[in-house]
Structure 1
């Protein structure tokens, strides 16, 4: 059958038709346990009743005004999100990549207008093996050749240092450095966790050198790691949080840049915007997400279930698994090439009713909805153990 979909993805051969909680069904009615959760966009499960109600209630009222006007949903959402982050202001956008692009503009504007960097000289430090999206600016400072090849020329103004190396980061900062942009845990790279104390060191260095710390928590934030934000694991508060994915509850795309007035206040009317950013439907769903996180219940669930998952996965090391990285309900599993590639393991799991995604050849990721049960995690790991024997 001829497909009319552009080939920018190579999905596993399954067509999902319905979903609820941690489970989805394909067009033939076969059931699968979703162990990816839309790369953390579905932290609260498919069709979460609370979030579906927030969306459907708002659908019957008004869905879009554009930011030419305000809506009764926007300020309550922004206030709740600012409180969750401990910050003053929220700039709402739609996708994670838009949040990153927004942060780059804010950091540069802050560098020129507040720090006094000469016009056109601002630079931003990023980490090797980063993943912040796929716009041309962002892939320009990626070292993933699949993301970069044939898409240049790229924007200047970025310096790359090894992830987890605070000394290298400090050495790269100069008088024209406006910001450091990092993922507290690198998701697309395979759930790469930096050394203990790294985030604390980054915070201290950036504060001492008058450089903004921007934390891309688009995948790692909003409960995934067992904390509200991955930065919370070291008690670190960045200058800017970049949020997305789970903020829309898997229902609508919602992203945001959250910072204090002295940072985000540099943006004036007409200098940045989005027709759909902060629309009433997105704000209603985002507000419901923030209210759910405010109780701490979901973070605790990710902590306890994450420990359970790690305990079940650890015995597989040396039995088809070469390395394991677990943080909260998030696991990067390196597969021994002798038993197959990450893609091949994903296909074998698909045949047994488990959905995962490979990355960088030999790694598969598990990031199930936080609604999943311990018994369901057990079953998923049992299926993984079986396919690793083949």
Structure 2
């Protein structure tokens, strides 16, 4: 009989330690918001493959679309022989994206690929080279996206030096003592001390930080960034890799701010579990790169494109944007009942638009001193109780909830019950 411990030993011998795994279990099968390991134990899944499964594990419409595509062809390389699913998906994304004027889309395979190519496109369109990102932001693990990422451990340690002309400003987070005004002033300092705005190709940020702790960019900050970019001819890149495709109750997280970016990066829940990413942007900007300058052998896989088209149909037909708002409201209301209870670990900072919900483990009730060790203990206890949870945040103090938007009210309640048990002080 296969066991988790036996496979862990095999994994240790065969796979380098640089790729970490949050749980010591091995998946055997999964459906919607549930997962079973190889020993037959059932888990409520509040991780969603790190925000990849907004439509749940193995949505029937997605699986049917993939199976139909498998009967036709699995790969041609879009650069060799193009195919309709790629074009059809680009058309849909161009229509959905909050871009000013005509839009175009190019597809890739991973979120890091999308972020890196967004910078390439911005450099080609502006003739400039510098990029500004934000503390706490996560954009990937390639050399350039690692430089863009605003978290040193574990993403940058041992991998230096970083690529040049990448600068970071503090992301406005009120309970860390960073105001919108301070963030904007820091940008002005960067322009004075590090790089003149005429050399900056793009500013990139997440409308709701993912790995950084589910902190939402205030609308007034986004509006100020848009005005700053317009004033200096800088392109605004909106990283929707974790916040996109309904998680926040809007198709794109930036829609909560009323701001329209120049470029949008997408991945994760776009294709319901199949590897697919993309950059959507203003048509004039997207056409800046010369033919052959962009692409990738597996970029825009026809199988993944078929899955993504099905995901967009499911989102519309099952009204998942409204569903995200409903699930988020239920979750926030339940979490509020945990605050201040002496039988539970102290929590604070319940936040997030739609169903992009998070809270922090703190050292004591009524305070906001982050407790990363407590968050780690809670995720471990949750797993013992049959709930898969992920932590994040600058200090590792944040618990993020990433249940599918297709989850039933009953399964959501079961998962929140298990979360309450994991927070209980024994």
Q: Tell me the TM-score normalized by structure 2.
A: 0.85
User: What displacement does 1:348 show?
Assistant: 0.7
Q: Structure 1 stretch 1-10 or stretch 27-36: which is displaced more? A: 1-10
Structure 1 gaps of 5+ residues are none
Inter-partner Cα distance in structure 1 for 2:185 and 2:94: 32
Task: Tell me what 1:221 maps to.
Answer: 244
Task: Tell me what 2:354 maps to.
Answer: 328
SS in 2 for 1:263: helix
Query: 8 Å contact 1:317–1:323 — kept in the other structure?
Result: no
Task: Tell me what 1:75 maps to.
Answer: 87
Task: Tell me what 1:282 maps to.
Answer: 304
Query: 8 Å contact 2:198–2:233 — kept in the other structure?
Result: no
Query: 8 Å contact 1:63–1:281 — kept in the other structure?
Result: yes
Query: 8 Å contact 1:84–1:294 — kept in the other structure?
Result: no
Query: 8 Å contact 1:80–1:291 — kept in the other structure?
Result: no
Is the counterpart of residue 292 in structure 1 residue 314 in structure 2? yes
User: What displacement does 1:272 show?
Assistant: 1.8
Q: Tell me the TM-score normalized by structure 1.
A: 0.93
Q: Aligned Cα RMSD in Å?
A: 1.8
Task: Tell me what 1:99 maps to.
Answer: 114
User: What displacement does 1:337 show?
Assistant: 4.4
Inter-partner Cα distance in structure 2 for 1:386 and 1:294: 35
Is the counterpart of residue 309 in structure 1 residue 331 in structure 2? yes
SS in 2 for 1:148: coil
Deviations 1:35-62 (A, max 9, x none): 1111221000000001001101001100
Q: 1:140 aligns with which of 136, 141, 147?
A: 147
Task: Tell me what 1:236 maps to.
Answer: 259
Q: Structure 1 stretch 353-362 or stretch 181-190: which is displaced more? A: 353-362
SS in 2 for 1:53: helix
Q: 2:217 aligns with which of 182, 186, 194?
A: 194
Inter-partner Cα distance in structure 1 for 2:27 and 2:244: 26
User: What displacement does 1:204 show?
Assistant: 2.1
Task: Tell me what 1:6 maps to.
Answer: 16
User: What displacement does 1:304 show?
Assistant: 1.2
Q: 1:42 aligns with which of 53, 75, 94?
A: 53
Q: How does 1:101-250 map to 2 (within 5 A)?
A: 101-112=116-127, 117=128, 122-141=129-148, 142-164=150-172, 165-173=183-191, 174-250=197-273
Query: 1:376/1:96 Cα in 2 relative to 1: closer, same or farther (>3 Å)?
Result: same
Is the counterpart of residue 389 in structure 1 residue 424 in structure 2? yes
User: What displacement does 1:145 show?
Assistant: 3.0
Deviations 1:278-310 (A, max 9, x none): 222122112222333445811111011111111
Query: 8 Å contact 2:134–2:168 — kept in the other structure?
Result: yes
How many equivalent residue pairs?
381
User: What displacement does 1:322 show?
Assistant: 2.9
Task: Tell me what 2:105 maps to.
Answer: 90
Structure 2 gaps of 5+ residues are 1-8, 173-182, 192-196, 365-370
User: What displacement does 1:178 show?
Assistant: 1.1
Inter-partner Cα distance in structure 1 for 2:249 and 2:349: 21
- The list of structure 1 runs, each at least 4 consecutive aligned residues, that deviate by more than 4 angstroms after superposition, is 337-340
Task: Tell me what 1:20 maps to.
Answer: 31
